A and B are shown apart, each in its own frame.
Chain A
Amino acid sequence: MDKILLIIQREYLTRVSKKSFWIASILVPFLIAGIYAIPLYFALNSNDTKTVEIVDESGLFKDKIKSKGDITYKFINDSYKVAKDGLEKSKSDILVSIPKDILTNPDGVKIVGKESVGFGIQNDIENAIQTELRNIKLKNANIDLKVLEDNKVSVSASTFTLKDDGKEESSSSKGAIILGGLFGFILYMSAFLYGSQVMNGVIEEKSNRIIEVMISSVRPFQLMMGKIIGVGLVGITQFLLWGVLTFGASTATTAIMSGKIEAKAKAMTQSGATKAEVTKMEKDLSSKNPLSEVSQTIESVSLAKIILCFLLFYIGGYLIYSSLFAAVGAAVENASEAQQFLLPVTIPIIVSFLLFTEIMEHPNGNLAFWASMFPLTSPIDMMIRLPFGVPNWQIALSLFFLILGFIGTTWLAGKIYRVGILMYGKKISWKEIAKWVVYKG
């Protein structure tokens, strides 16, 4: 037992003391914070205002289209041709031509820019014309605009799950999808990230020829488990660092950004924007933060339960996959040779992630149920299902299968490992590996 602790310690310390570990641990949270902050930043700092000249041949829109936000509209009386020729020298950026027959030919609008016209501004101009055109048409049809506005309703339903005791429990599907996807993805990533670290560690020991010295001091199984646990702890450390740093970085960005949103709101109010417009801007910007929906879901499915299950399935899944990765590492002599043997290990991981959409649509369907029971897919698929609410007995059964699966795979991996690590210069086939499993001592 002392020896396995020594091995765990070495495996852990050599990895954690590597520069690459710290670079990855620090860089990833800042990338995440950046992904969240950069769009916000650009949304807040898009200062370039555009002046749009409108040649309204129909005469229907004159002064009805109001300057808004970054776009200033200017109606001119020149003909389209004159205006177009003059655009180059004028201060305006864009020229819009509204045809005479706009009421019957709404596709006849032309937008000409000094530079190519961006998608966003095209959209804004189209919307402005569209809204006004609609108003004109409604008016022509004798429909009172006020009545129409009053009849605009928006339905927003809250979803609930009926519990055994007859109570309704609030559940947010949207948040569940994000949360399930997040957990599934973390497991998926970890399986590959740390599983392959275990595999490379085994290959390294084999190609360094240290392996025989090692197993004359410790049992092969101890060495394998020590490596698996050591790398697993590295993974946990890295996730903790990621968690803390991501939280810190996104709190910081949120603080900075909300300061900026406030400043912008103030500026808007001063420049005469209505209160509704300011609120809309604030809402638009804060909706770019995906965490708000998730926190709502975490409240609805007990947070403690989710974290506990995540830990259990994470550990179980990691042990299963990494022992298989270790077996592959022992069977081969270099990483490129490992590819062909990795397929049966990676396929269940990829499949369980591909089932994502199916499980999202039918979280309690047959496929979702069995995928969350089978030990090679359950770690990922149960985590995807969990935020939708899974009965406790199913979780318990799945964990039971997971433990059985873990014992089975480590036993199998141990057998392959024990023989494989001493095999040099031999082309390994599946048949050969099958033989190793039945070898005695």
Chain B
Amino acid sequence: MSNILEAQHVVKRYAEHTALNDVSIEVPTGSIFGLLGPNGAGKTSLIRIINQITAPDEGQIILNGERLQPKHIEDIGYLPEERGLYKKMKVGEQLLYLAQLKGMKKAEAMEKLKAWFIKFDIKDWWDKNVEDLSKGMQQKTQFIATIVHEPKLIILDEPFSGFDPINANLLKDEILELKQRGTTIIFSTHRMESVEELCDNIALINKSKVVLHGGKKEVKNRFKDNSYTIQFTGNLPNDNGVFEVLNTQNLEDGIIQAHIRNTQEVPVNQLINSLIQKVELKSFNENIPSFNDIFIKVVGGEANELL
């Protein structure tokens, strides 16, 4: 799979600090890419460079195999974290204006917008003033403005912040639908549950640097600690040549739950084999770290190192 976007050794310095320090990421075409990191890590700085709002001091951005240039503006749809609308303008008028600024012809924009208004069931909003819309309605309007020109790459900066659950779900569905149609989506967030749900690939930026980068599964595998959660009845010895019991907990009906670690890194079948010789196994699950765990481990770990 080719990459729609590559950032190569991007450096961005401001007077007092370095916002991005040798940042390189690759975003595969047609994927959903999570740009993760704590507040102030440099996510928005990178997004602004991709949107050509600012320019990098060093390094370059490659979009579709070409060095980033003004014409690419039309290939990108951007929903910033600080998003707003002209309050005194009518909804339809405003969307038409924003679509035209993205290079659409007026008639074409009109047609596409009408389709979106029907899809979101908001036909009667066209002549409403933006200031008369509720926050949720404004969010829908902003989302339409981001995608109406059918960009190849959509960048959403903290898209779920400030969305109510209904709109957040709608947004999720739309993101997945856009992916179906081959659109690449980058979204930045520090909410890990949406990463679990949506992302194919991630990059974790912390303190201006990329500290983790890759496919969702691959990253998770990297953080596996060979531990398992088992439930059983019987007597499990603490020490065994193959595994080590980390902790146990008594559940109902004599069932015990334990965390064990595969200390010798033997194949799973062999591990199960050595278990069933001693106890009656009820369930067996590999512990796969959540992104929340990984995030805390990486970001927190680095914080500890610095301390």
> A: which residues have CB within 8 A of B?
3, 6-7, 10, 14, 204-205, 208-219, 422, 424, 435, 439-441
Contact = CB atoms under 8 A, between A and B. Distances in A.
A230 to B, nearest CB: 13
Given A204-B87, A216-B78, 8 more contacts: A3-B101, A208-B84, A212-B82, A214-B101, A216-B76, A217-B98, A217-B101, A440-B55
Interface of B: 14-15, 48, 51-57, 70, 73, 76, 78-80, 82-89, 97-98, 100-102, 142, 145
Contact of B86 (A3, A208, A215, A424): A208
**B interface: dominant SS:** loop
Contacts of B73: 216-217
A439 B70 CA distance: 20
Nearest to A438: B15
28 contacts: A14-B89, A204-B86, A204-B87, A205-B86, A208-B86, A208-B87, A209-B84, A210-B84, A211-B84, A212-B53, A212-B78, A212-B80, A212-B82, A213-B78, A213-B83, A213-B98, A214-B101, A215-B53, A217-B73, A217-B98, A217-B101, A218-B101, A435-B15, A439-B14, A440-B55, A441-B54, A441-B55, A441-B56
Contacts of A208: 84-87
A14 B85 CA distance: 14
Contacts of B83: 209-210, 212-213
A217 B85 contact: no
A14 B97 CA distance: 12
A70 to B, nearest CB: 56
Contacts, number: 64
A212 B78 CA distance: 9
Given A10-B97, A435-B15, A217 B102 contact: yes
Contacts of B78: 212-213, 216
Nearest to A223: B101
A312 B33 CA distance: 54
A interface secondary structure, majority? helix
* Shortest 10 CB-CB contacts between residues of A and residues of B: A441-B55, A209-B84, A212-B80, A217-B101, A208-B84, A216-B78, A216-B51, A210-B84, A209-B82, A215-B53
B89 A216 contact: no
A55 B79 CA distance: 92
Contacts of A3: 101
- Residue in B51, B79, B82 whose Cβ sees the most chain A Cβ within 10 Å: B82
B80 A216 contact: yes
B145 A213 contact: yes
A210 B86 CA distance: 7
A422 B57 contact: no
Nearest to B81: A212
Contacts of A211: 84
A433 B19 CA distance: 19
Nearest to B157: A212
Give the interface centre of A10, A204, A435 by most chain B CB atoms within 10 Å: A10
B49 to A, nearest CB: 9
A212 B70 CA distance: 16
Nearest to A219: B70
Contact of A424 (B51, B79, B82, B145): B82
B53 A14 contact: no
A6 B80 contact: no
Which of the listed residues B48, B52, B84, B87 has the most CB atoms from chain A within 10 Å of its own CB? B84
Question: By CB atoms of chain A within 10 A, which of B53, B57, B76, B142 has the most?
Answer: B53
Contact of A6 (B55, B57, B100): B100
Given A208-B87, A422-B53, A213 B80 contact: yes
Given A210-B84, A216-B80, A6 B97 contact: yes
Nearest to A205: B86
A368 B78 CA distance: 53
B57 A440 contact: yes
Contact of A210 (B55, B56, B85, B102): B85
B14 to A, nearest CB: 8
Contacts of A7: 101
Nearest to B53: A215
Contacts of B84: 208-211, 213
A232 to B, nearest CB: 20
Interface centre among B88, B89, B101, B142 (most CB of A within 10 A): B101
Most chain A C-beta atoms within 10 Å of own C-beta, residue among B54, B73, B78, B88: B54
User: Which of A7, A208, A213, A441 has the most CB atoms of chain B within a 10 A radius of its CB?
Assistant: A213
Contacts of B54: 441
A14 to B, nearest CB: 7
A215 to B, nearest CB: 5
Nearest to B83: A209
A10 B100 CA distance: 12
Nearest to A212: B80
A261 B85 CA distance: 58
Contacts of B70: 219
A217 B97 CA distance: 11
A139 B128 CA distance: 87
A420 B204 CA distance: 28
A218 B97 CA distance: 12
Contacts of A435: 15
A205 B87 CA distance: 9
Contacts of A441: 54-56
A219 B53 CA distance: 8
A214 B146 CA distance: 11
Interface centre among A217, A422, A439 (most CB of B within 10 A): A217
Nearest to B97: A10
